[in-house]
Amino acid sequence: MKKNSIVFIDKTAWIALLDKTNPNYEAARVYFENLLAQNARLVTNNYCVDETVSFLRSTLGNDLATKFMLIIDESVLSINLRVDWISRRIRRNALNNFLKSSNSELSLNHFFIYESIKRKRVDFIFSYDTNLKNFDFPVMPQNI
């Protein structure tokens, strides 16, 4: 990975970083620390944040969900993280591409991610979702 790479972080990576029972927890933490050491520019979108908060609240409790939102808010304020907001136009593009797609493995959220990675000129995606490989962007870590 080159220094200052632009890296999109999806819901599966956020959950792996926060859920100590997740099988990818340790590897995700090490990988994330490496991203920070390489001065990676981190990007996510509001849908990934919302899905992560919902998952954390329903499975691990409100306290962790609240802590995650505080971390996100602080990271955005300190410029360590950019949140791409899915606007009405971007949502329409994602929805149209989703409805045109013949790949039943891809969800609408995959297309929201795809819109974000195109717009933000992402170098690769930090994710444990193998379906994102369908968009021909590098998905890391490579052991998925």
What digits encode the pLDDT tens for the residues 5-38? 999 999 999 999 999 999 999 999 999 999 999 9
Whole-number Å distance between alpha carbons of 11 and 116: 14
Q: Is residue 1 part of a domain?
A: no
Q: Is residue 132 part of a domain?
A: yes
Q: Is residue 42 part of a domain?
A: yes
pLDDT at 144 over 60: no
We report the CATH number of the domain holding residue 94 as 3.40.50.1010
Q: Which residue has the tokens 């992402």?
A: 122
Q: Is residue 11 part of a domain?
A: yes
Q: Is residue 144 part of a domain?
A: no
Q: State pTM to two decimals.
A: 0.93
Q: Is residue 143 part of a domain?
A: no
Whole-number Å distance between alpha carbons of 82 and 67: 18
pLDDT at 122 over 90: yes
Q: Is residue 119 part of a domain?
A: yes
Domain containing 123 equals: 6-137
Over residues 36-68, the pLDDT tens digits come to: 999 999 999 999 999 999 999 999 999 999 999
Whole-number Å distance between alpha carbons of 14 and 46: 13
